[in-house]
Amino acid sequence: MLLTFLSWLGGVLAVLFAILLGYVAYRYWYHMGRLPKATPRSLKSKPVPSTWRDDEVTFTWVGHSTILINLFGTKILTDPVLGEKLGLRIAGVHFGPNRYTPPALEFAEIGDVDIILISHAHMDHVDLPSLRQLARTSIHVITAKNTSKLIARMPFGSYEEIAPHESVRTANGVKVTAIPVRHWGNRFPWNTDYGYNGYVIEKNGVRILYPGDTAYISFEALPQAFGSIDIAFMPIGAYKPDAYQAAHCTPEQAWEMFKQSGAKWLVPIHWNTFVLSEEPVHEPIQRLLAAAGEEKNRIVIEEQGETFVLPVT
């Protein structure tokens, strides 16, 4: 009797798994079929982090939402995604987009990192294979509430979770404050308790705004809460179809939020790396430059691999 029941249960689970796999495949191919076709491109610039000075603030856009920052000698890496593909492998089948633009840095070229900053658990921000290759006991990870379980078994030196309006100060003298953004945190439909953050990063009087992913939200309160902000890394892609704007800002909204934040310099991110939405691949930067108009010189990086050194004031 028990063997009969177990056999029946195994059959039911196999059918349910097949249905789930079929649904995932259908949704994936339906979505991918609606995306613009783009020919993979190469890099124009190659950063050399080993030459960066520890008495300056230097950074490069590695790709998507991954930024390598040398903040007065503290090396910070945001939402590291360095692989050739995103998504899942189920029964040997890959579900997820291939990389459109290669990462500006390979793992070995990134060098020693002190802090990894994770905004939320979406697969284009938490890439587990990338994190496994980066894991070192010298690295401290700061992530959103209820998401540290994704990295808990990796050999990082330490990690902690924070929620919006909470701050931590690291041993390197860096203060990180989580700020609220308009997005969502689920990695899978059942991860309803996963948090999502933007961040303000501070050291030696320099302040950096990293919102992660966000739809339009007012940043007018940031200058009063933190003082002058030097650099804002603003997401500008994944806004079409219009329904996506519930979780992703348009380039024009990104420019407005940048101006509200009072930041001096803007670095557009979250575009031109993976084809995730229906807008043409190069449209986000064209619309951002148009929105900036005569102030477009405040947009300091437009290509993966470009390097910027914060001017001394």
Integer Cα distance of 95 and 29 in angstroms: 9
Confidence at residue 27, expressed as pLDDT on a 0 to 100 scale: 45
Instruction: State the burial class of residue 21 (Cβ atoms within 10 Å of its Cβ: 0-12, 13-18, 19+).
Output: middle
Which CATH superfamily is 53-309 part of? Answer: Ribonuclease Z/Hydroxyacylglutathione hydrolase-like (3.60.15.10)
φ/ψ (deg, to 5) at 286: -65, -45
Confidence at residue 8, expressed as pLDDT on a 0 to 100 scale: 59
Confidence at residue 54, expressed as pLDDT on a 0 to 100 scale: 97
Helix locations, the chain, DSSP H: 2-33, 107-110, 128-134, 222-226, 251-261, 283-292
Confidence at residue 89, expressed as pLDDT on a 0 to 100 scale: 74
Please, which residues have CB within 8 angstroms of residue 250's CB and are 6 or more apart in sequence? Answer: 216, 236, 239, 287
Q: Is residue 288 within 8 Å of residue 257, measured between CB atoms?
A: no
- Among 208, 197, 214, CA closest to 160: 197
Integer Cα distance of 146 and 191 in angstroms: 9
Q: Which SS3 state, helix, strand or coil, does residue 3 take? A: helix
Q: What is the DSSP string of 254-304?
A: HHHHHHHHT-SEEEEESSSSB--SSS-TTHHHHHHHHHHGGGGGGB---ST
Q: Mean pLDDT per 10-residue run, the chain (313 residues)?
A: 58 52 43 54 86 97 98 98 86 80 95 97 96 97 98 97 98 97 94 97 98 98 96 98 97 98 98 94 97 98 96 81
Q: Which two tokens stand for residue 86?
A: 């995103």
What single-letter amino acid sits at 12?
V
Confidence at residue 285, expressed as pLDDT on a 0 to 100 scale: 98
Give 28's DSSP letter.
Answer: H
φ/ψ (deg, to 5) at 36: -65, 145
- In the chain, where the domains are located: 1-33, 53-309
